[in-house]
Structure 1
Amino acid sequence: MRIQTPEEAFAEDLDRSLRPRTLADFVGQDGLKAQLQVSLEAAKARGEALDHVLLAGPPGLGKTSLAQILAAEMGVPFVQTAAPALERKADIAAFLSALEPRSVFFVDELHRLSRALEETFYPAMEDLQLPITLGQGAGARVTNLPLPPFTLVGATTRAGLLTTPLRDRFGIQHRLEPYDGPELTAIVHRSAHILGCEVQEAGASAIARRSRGTPRVANRLLKRVRDFAEVRGRGVVDAATADAALDLLQIDDLGLDRLDREILSAVCSKFGGGPVGLSTLAVTVGEEQDTIEDVYEPYLLQCGFLMRTPRGRVATAGAYAHLGLEAPEDPALF
């Protein structure tokens, strides 16, 4: 096991301190919070475990934070793992058998759970029993290990990859949506207060505008802008300081970074607006296909700069305008 350096441990503690601790502290997702509040109060009134919860949505929107909040609001232990770390049925059995009554068991990236292991969760979620095989060969027999009441909270960025039997066993299902400007501005102010950083309204708005609708990105940019303000400014994050810091990071007014623009530029300039295949595009910009598809493409699609077609990726008129290029006259591309 790799040991964290003091700097890495400090950064992890800092990120953890920025997470909201209660539903009241959680900014945005108002409809989701209202529904969860009802479920929480009902479960506490009956003295039962909260029903199993499935949280879906793009990375960085607060799925892990919400899982921790559910445990805190219920006043129960929080146990966390990730689906890729569950390699054998024994791994699941070890976690589930050690849970205290009404605990919250959080599994991140649930869509990466293998089908064989997924079926292990079925009787645990429905009947609070875990089938265990004792012995081998003809003398083997199956016994059911009773489990305490618990809440499985699954988080996924790709809900479409979950099987229907697993998805249907979650009594509470929610999808988190990207945040708007005022919500991200409020998050920046809250995080700045925790970090002990003075942020003016215009500075917070500048950071929020370039945060791609994602609180995790907003917090990351805030920390980099804070560094810039302390080294090259007066220690106060105003609009000019935020813009200068983010320009230094090569993040433009829509939140696109250098590689985002390289992808758009490659499609527009080198391939005439497309269509271009993902593998060709990956080689052109020097990045892995999975990284382009999972990290960069979703936001470019949200911005309306790229289109996915059966023949490949195609740049839109908006992409040309954003890059300051003249769009081709062929209307078929648009």
Structure 2
Amino acid sequence: MASPQPHDDTELAIEGALRPGSLADFVGQHKVRGQLQLLLDAARIQERPADHILLAGPPGLGKTTLAMIVAHESNRPLRMSSGPAIQHAGDLAALLSSLMPGEVLFIDEIHRMARSAEEMLYLAMEDFRIDIMVGKGAGATSIPLDLAPFTLVGATTRSGLLPNPLRDRFGFTAHLEYYEPEELERVIERSAGFLGVGLGGRERAEIARRSRGTPRIANRLLRRVRDYALVHAHGAAPELGDVRAALELYDVDAIGLDRLDRAVLDALVRRFRGGPVGLSTLAVAVGEEPDTVESVVEPYLVRIGFMGRTPRGRVATPEAYAHLGVAHPLGAPGSLPIDDL
């Protein structure tokens, strides 16, 4: 018997439909959309590939979708890769030499490319040429290889890790911002239509409020609400109670904190008395890697004002105590000035 396929054609079609296909359909990021539209229109008028584009911002805000839109609106093919997959200059050379004229190359997590590949990319982006070393030692020679003109779209969640020479070669850098609840409601409304889920305004607002300003999370929570409604016989029109019950089942609270967020906050408040405490110590206390706490949990807790970063470590704010229902002790470290490390 044939093994089951992970997705049927209908599910794949829905997955593709959830991604907007044009800048006009893309919700939010108004300034970035206007800047990209101008860049693409100018390239179209001059009949040339668009300038290289760097998309920077937290995960889930639409960087991959925007790269697809750049290719679509430029009427160019799209080639996709990622920084971790390019660990040698030879990997990049093979990728670049196979590009067709005008093709859009998307490299996700571009800050994780190998340093040797980054250095090769400098020349490729500027002069559409790479130098390939043949041989070793004193007999090694450099052979120049011309490349077809292309547009590089790089995406990064940590633009500060990009070396300045690489960052400076992008003609345009877009900084994506978190979404407002009203924008997320529009994202949810559009996605619900494709998923066949009938949601009222209160239900959309409830999901948006718990989505941490991130469309990817909003779509994920919408799918879980759909599943809950189907299983519990409410069909394709979940009510507000269904939304709340589904998200409670998946440990997403009223402001979007999940199990790990609350574990970090609880450890900071109860075990370490509000801090300050070092990142590594805090990570060990919740059984996670420091990178996970720093990149996944901390940004949201800082953004909503529940955690602060001081030169001595992380501290809990009075708002964090209130959310956990813990009395705030007099003179708690959360009242200290909060400065970026």
Provide the residue aligned with 1:73 in structure 2.
73
Range that drifts further, 46-55 or 285-294: 285-294
Structure-to-structure mapping, 1:167-206, within 5 angstroms: 167-206=167-206
Report the Cα distance in structure 2 between the residues aligned to 1:147 and 1:332, rounded to whole angstroms.
57
> For the aligned residues, what is the CA RMSD?
1.6
Q: What is the identity, as a one-letter code, of the residue corresponding to 2:320? A: A
| Match of residue 298 from structure 2 | 297
Partner of 1:130 in structure 2?
A: 130
Indicate conservation of the 8 Å contact 1:233/1:241, yes or no.
Answer: no
Structure 1 contact 201–238 (Cα < 8 Å) conserved:
no
Q: Cα offset for 1:9?
A: 7.5
Is it true that 1:251 corresponds to 2:252 in the alignment?
A: yes
For residue 7 of structure 1, what is the aligned residue in structure 2?
6
Quick one: which amino acid aligns to residue 323 of structure 2? H
Which stretch shows the higher mean deviation, 57-66 or 269-278? 269-278
Equivalent positions of 1:42-121 (< 5 A) are: 42-121=42-121
Q: Over residues 183-203 of structure 1, what are the superposed CA-to-partner deviations in whole Å (9 max), with x where a residue is unaligned?
A: 100000111111111111111
Amino acid at match of 1:25: D
Aligned residue for 1:144, secondary structure, equals: strand
- 1:288 shift after superposition: 1.5
In 1, the alpha carbon distance for the partners of 2:222 and 2:256 equals: 13
Distance 1:82 1:243, change over 3 A: same
Q: Deviations over 1:247-300 (max 9, x none)?
A: 221211110012211111111111111112222212211111111111111100
Give TM-score scaled by structure 2 length: 0.93
Q: 2:55 is paired with a residue of what secondary structure?
A: strand
- In the alignment, the residues of structure 2 paired with residue 91 and residue 331 of structure 1 have an alpha-carbon distance, to the nearest angstrom, of 53
Cα distance in 1 for residues equivalent to 2:8 and 2:306:
38
Match of 1:26 in 2: 26
Identity %: 53
Which residue of 1 is the match for residue 339 of structure 2? none
Work out the CA distance in 2 between the residues paired with 1:6 and 1:198. 28
Corresponding residue pairs, total: 331
Deviation for aligned residue 1:309: 1.7
Which position in structure 2 is the counterpart of 1:215? 215
Q: Matched residue of 2:314: which SS? A: strand
**What is residue 313 of structure 1 aligned with on the other side?**
314
Q: 1:228 to 1:277 in 2, by over 3 A?
A: same
CA distance in 2, matches of 1:321, 1:127: 57
The amino acid of 2:95's aligned partner reads F
Runs of 5+ unmatched residues, structure 1: none
Counterpart contact for 2:101–2:148, Cα < 8 Å: yes
Which range moved further: 137-146 or 41-50? 137-146
- In 1, Cα distance between equivalents of 2:307 and 2:209: 20
* 1:307/1:316 contact within 8 Å kept: yes
Which residue matches 2:243?
242
Higher mean C-alpha deviation, range 112-121 or range 22-31: 112-121
Shift of residue 51 of structure 1? 0.1
Tell me the distance in 2 between the aligned counterparts of 1:9 and 1:150. 34
1:198 counterpart SS class: coil
Distance change in 2, residues 1:48/1:59 (3 Å): same
The corresponding residue for 1:142 is 142
The answer to which of 99-108 and 132-141 deviates more is 132-141
Q: State whether structure 2 residue 260 is matched by structure 1 residue 266.
A: no
